[in-house]
Structures are given as structure tokens and as C-alpha cells.
Amino acid sequence: MNPIVFDSNILFSSLRSKDSTLLSLVEMRKDCVFYTPNFLVVEIFKHRERLRAKSKLTEDEFLELLSILLRSIRFYNESMISGGNLLEAWRLVRDIDPKDQLFVALALELDAQLL
């Protein structure tokens, strides 16, 4: 199985439409396993109202789409990421977007593609 790590921006953009790229990818790529850090759950709930409003979906449609996406993802405990990969990720993202550190570190940890 091919591991793929995606960040919050990919999931957030996927929650705007039932025809999302991530949803299509999840449904089509049965040879892949999708990962993200547990931190993404916090981000989803932190921005839930804004995401739902931007989606133009009903509450039920939004929750159904979120449920489909969340069932397709394996959440990874950040404490299991090695210090070396966290440090390397920081070096790579510090001047671009420090919030991406956990996603990059997880991709390094799993030797995964990063979306």
C-alpha cells in the first residue's frame, strides 16, 4: 500500500464540495493509505463553522461528506514521529509555513507522498 499524507488545506478544500478532489482520490485509489496527524481533528473543529458556511452544503450534507473523508483517513499520533523527522520538517517549512511541520514530519516518518 502506498502511504499518502495530506495537510489541513487539502481536507478543508475538499469539504467545499461533494465533488472534491480528495474524495475522488480516496474512492479511486484503493492501493493507497491516507494519513494525517491527529492535530487535523482539532483544526476541523476549530474551523468547522467557517468550513460549513463556505461549502454551501446543508448541515447534513456537510457532516456526511466529513464522515466519508474521516473514515478514509488513518490518524497518526504525533508523539510517534521521531525527533529527527520533526527537526528536518521544521528546517524545511520554517520559512514557508511553520504550521505544516507535523504534516511534513509525518510524510518523512512514513516515507509517504505529501499532498
Considering the chain, what is the average pLDDT of its residues?
90
Residue 19 has what pLDDT? 66
What cell numbers appear for 80 in the block? Answer: 510517534
Host domain of residue 70: 2-114
For residue 9, pLDDT over 70 is answered with: yes
Contacts of 89 (CB under 8 A, 6+ apart): 100, 101, 102, 103, 104, 105, 108
Segment 36-90, tens digit of pLDDT = 999 999 999 999 999 999 888 889 989 988 898 888 899 999 999 999 999 999 9
Residue 18 has what pLDDT? 67
- Distance between CA 93 and CA 110 in Å, rounded? 18
Residue 68 has what pLDDT? 86
pTM of the model: 0.88
Residue 3 has what pLDDT? 95
Provide the CATH number for the domain around residue 88: 3.40.50.1010
Look-up: residue for cell 450534507? 61
**pLDDT cut 70: percent of the chain above it:** 97
* Total number of domains constituting the chain: 1
